[in-house]
Amino acid sequence: MSSSPTISPPCDTLATMAADHRLAEFIREQALATRVIIQARKRLSGGAIQENWLLDLLIEGGPWAGDRRWVLRSDALSALPASLDREQEFAVLQVVYQACVKVPRPLWLCRDERVHGRVFFLMEYVPGIAAGRVLSANAGAGQARLAVQLGANLARLHQVRPPCAALDFLPAPDSSPALVTISAYRRYLDTLTDAYPVLEWGLRWCELHAPRDSSLCLLHRDYRTGNYLASEQGLEAVLDWEFAGWGDPCEDLGWFTARCWRFTRPDLEAGGIGQLEDFLHGYHQVSSRRIERSQLHYWQVMATLRWAVIALQQGQRHLSGEEPSIELALTGRLLPELELDILHMTGAEAP
């Protein structure tokens, strides 16, 4: 009498189980636990540059015992040249968390690529809404508090200044941060086959109008609506620190207030969610540095140029075949709109 054949799990299921086991063992060791069970893992939306996985965990024993929701953050398939790696981003997250900037609490870094296939770090999960179009669509009188909180939080970040031993991998600009950035963008444009005269025009305008004096501080460099979590209580946490570096504090303010990051509310200068005066009021509550509206225009032009260069880079990632993606392709198609904004902002006549 023949026995029934044994049915083996599919290969992909076995691979997932093995990966979960390696990850659970890493967490168990770091959390000083007796056992860790990964109850669920889910890929979070967004993350064109990095991957974020939500982990539902049951931890037995040790100081972290109980149900936990943590986020695993690792590289995506390819990265932008200007972005930090995960080890560097984790170091930045530790520094800003200690500076009382609202961020997810950083937990542990894993350099062993055998665990997840790439270097990654773990941080606590923070609930809230991040979608820029949702936040800007709901903008109203109640968002004044959020604008104030965002300004104050940014000012706390800008209190981190060089030198900082924990961030010694971040190069400090030798001269004007604006001129260093302009030079980097020109070098990138020179590598491309096609010419982009509007971007060259914008870079020359920024070169001629560059501020002479700058005091260096730590910048987020992507501080905008869409990169923070908000709830009914206001600001919960700022996300995505892979572009952090030393620079002029007005760069972050110009990026946050630039028209290209106001989503459905271009009339609301504070990131499409509030009034500029509220945002600056929050900033001035923490910082002794006085920011005038006139200072922001220059850095809003720089922000638009930077977003245009990033759009080019994202489009190239798609067109090269290295990482075919509708999201990357659509980002690349934003360029004409950004070029028109640059022409309007610099006083040039659009064709």
11: pLDDT strictly greater than 60: no
Q: Which 8-state DSSP code applies to residue 62?
A: S
Q: Report the candidate in 140, 48, 104, 81 with the shortest Cα–Cα distance to residue 238.
A: 104
In this prediction, residue 94 carries a pLDDT of 98
| pLDDT average, residue stretch 243-264 | 96
Q: Where are the domains of the chain?
A: 35-124, 173-215+292-351
In this prediction, residue 49 carries a pLDDT of 65
In this prediction, residue 6 carries a pLDDT of 56
pLDDT digits (tens, 9 = 90+) for 47-71: 556 889 999 999 999 999 999 999 9
224: pLDDT strictly greater than 60: yes
In this prediction, residue 288 carries a pLDDT of 92
Q: Is the peptide bond before 173 cis (omega within 30 degrees of 0)?
A: no
Share of the chain above pLDDT 70, in %: 91
What's the rounded Cα separation, in Å, for the pair 36 and 135? 36
- In three-state secondary structure terms, 239 is coil
Task: Identify the band that residue 111 occupies on the pLDDT scale cut at 50, 70 and 90.
Answer: very high
What's the rounded Cα separation, in Å, for the pair 333 and 311? 8
150: pLDDT strictly greater than 80: yes
In this prediction, residue 318 carries a pLDDT of 77
In this prediction, residue 120 carries a pLDDT of 96
CATH T-level fold of 35-124: Phosphorylase Kinase; domain 1 (3.30.200)
- The angle at the Cα of 238, spanning 83 to 294, to the nearest 5 degrees, equals 85
Task: Identify the band that residue 331 occupies on the pLDDT scale cut at 50, 70 and 90.
Answer: confident
320: pLDDT strictly greater than 70: yes
248: pLDDT strictly greater than 60: yes
- Give the list of residues 6+ apart from residue 164 with CB closer than 8 angstroms, or none: 95, 218
In this prediction, residue 153 carries a pLDDT of 98
Share of the chain above pLDDT 90, in %: 74
| pLDDT average, residue stretch 157-167 | 96
In this prediction, residue 10 carries a pLDDT of 57
Q: Which 8-state DSSP code applies to residue 260?
A: G
Q: What is the mean pLDDT of the chain?
A: 90
Q: Which residues of 267-291 are buried (b: 16+ CB within 10 A; e: fewer)?
A: ebbbbbbbbbebbbebbeebbeeeb
In this prediction, residue 33 carries a pLDDT of 97
Q: Report the candidate in 66, 1, 59 with the shortest Cα–Cα distance to residue 30.
A: 59
Task: Identify the band that residue 14 occupies on the pLDDT scale cut at 50, 70 and 90.
Answer: low
Pair 151, 278: CB distance under 8 Å: yes
| pLDDT average, residue stretch 255-266 | 95
Pair 237, 230: CB distance under 8 Å: no
Task: Identify the band that residue 284 occupies on the pLDDT scale cut at 50, 70 and 90.
Answer: very high
Task: Identify the band that residue 75 occupies on the pLDDT scale cut at 50, 70 and 90.
Answer: confident
Q: Can you say how many angstroms the Cα of residue 140 is from the centroid of all Cα atoms in its chain?
A: 25
In this prediction, residue 3 carries a pLDDT of 54
Tokens of 244: 């952090």
351: pLDDT strictly greater than 80: no
What are the Cα distances from residue 185, in Å, to 81, 190, 192, 313, 315?
12, 9, 11, 11, 16
Task: Identify the band that residue 305 occupies on the pLDDT scale cut at 50, 70 and 90.
Answer: very high
- In three-state secondary structure terms, 92 is helix
pLDDT digits (tens, 9 = 90+) for 193-207: 899 999 999 999 999
